[in-house]
Amino acid sequence: MLACTHPFSMVILFAATELAPYAKTGGLADVLASLPSALGSRGHQVRICLPFYRRAIRKLRSLQSMGIELEVVLGRTKHVAHLWRGQTSDSPPLLLIEKDEFFDRSYLYGPPGRDYADNASRFFFFSKAVVQIAQRLSPRPDVLHLHDWHTGLAAVIARRECPQIKTVFTIHNIAYQGKFPAADFELTNLPWEYFTPEGIEFYGQINCLKAGIVFSNRVTTVSPRHAQEIQSPGGGHGLEGVLQAHRQKLVGILNGADYRRWNPATDRKIPASFDAGHLKGKEICKEVLCRELGFPSHTDPLFLFLGRLVEQKGVELLLQATPYLLSWGSQIAVLGTGTPKWEKALEELSRQNPDRLHLQFRFSERLAHRFLAGADFLLMPSAFEPCGLTQMYALRYGTLPIAHATGGLADTIQDAIEPFETGTGFLFSPYELPAFLSACQRALRVYQDPSTLVGLRKRAMGKIFSWDEAALQYEAIYQDP
């Protein structure tokens, strides 16, 4: 048995495929770096179950074999995995499932723009192993908290094999659902009665996200507004009917922000510290950033796009708006990776405006801190955004977000309209270029009035999105019969 040593009020096992800084492609990793810790600080015994990504081993503080083998059957093939115990600098203990055949790879899910062909096997294996671990923990978990489609099958297996363990399934991005051909169903080793419209079948395919929704005791998503949006036509990316049918167990809980890592008053990654009462440091950060990026001026407004270059994030609107912003005397920095066609389109714009459009097609947390500290405005024209964390970090750094009024963006940004005496950023709707440009023009009018800009920055920096509050709400979900 896997012995747990300290009795707390609840034993909670998280299962996910990402955890910052161990393995990260998006916001899921940041949530797993914060929510389990917040629950642990409230007296709960928390463990996090992850794939053992060999490429991320250097980011673990400690690592030891637990001397435990897991036997996982996929179809007619038995796979043997080994269990390790690890920890990052500030996470609860990690239970790492070692299976090099599946997890010793260059990417988490596949090369840019593609998925690995065997992702069904990889994540069916992971889901089955998670349930085995939950059954072997001592004391057994009260709650198995699953995250995104990669763990959806675990909800089905847990319902069959250990129904006394409550399952909570969190949807971080409903656009990614884990769809696989019906032929892969044999890898689940489930009876065919599960491959029905009432089960995990969806238009002739396996749908792992649907599996998590249907078979978990409770379902959450990462902002209140998004919980409503995903039940509307189109907002659920095809699953709105399933979510409506299970709406009694669906709730939206707003993510928090990790202010241990994202705090300009203590951030060692930025050139100068600052807070709402002392904004000189932000001016220094902008001067340094403009010099590093080769911009001709540190007095012109500086817009930042920070994130994945994919359709969800509104890259098409960004491309359409960029010539206007540049013609209005602005400078733009882009930091992120994504779809090659969007990168090429941005490169073409950069060739036409080399001194005012700076591109870095990579992700670096160090640069993310420096860019957020130095920029004036953050562009977030997302088509949809379940929660978003970048706008929360931007607010803390006095970098005013310009965002589509959707999901967590609408839940976290108060729209600033003239005479700009209230608000923390600029929202636009509908999702069209004129509305986006109008919000950018409002931001530029604020920039031209230093006293108004300072007031808006101070209000933005005063907004706090606490993981402690989120942990309280998850506690209520866990305890709800």
Q: Provide the annotated binding site for ADP-alpha-D-glucose.
A: 24
Q: What is the DSSP letter of 92?
A: P
Q: What is the DSSP letter of 388?
A: -
What is the H or E stretch that residue 369 is in? helix 365-374
Residue reference for tokens 């929360």? 392
Residue reference for tokens 């967590």? 408
State residue 256 phi and psi, 5-degree precision: -105, 180
3-state DSSP assignment of residue 32: helix
Per DSSP, the residues of 39-90 read HHHTT-EEEEEEE--GGGGGG-SEEEEEEEEEEEEETTEEEEEEEEEEE-SS
The greatest distance separating any two alpha carbons of the chain, rounded to the nearest whole angstrom, comes to: 69
3-state DSSP assignment of residue 428: strand
CA separation for the pair 459, 219 (Å, rounded): 33
**Using alpha carbons only, how large is the chain's radius of gyration in Å?**
23
Please work out, in degrees rounded to the nearest 5, the angle formed at the alpha carbon of residue 226 by the alpha carbons of 411 and 145.
Answer: 110
Q: Which residues are annotated as a binding site?
A: 24
Nearest of 268, 240, 273, 301 to residue 397 by alpha carbon: 273
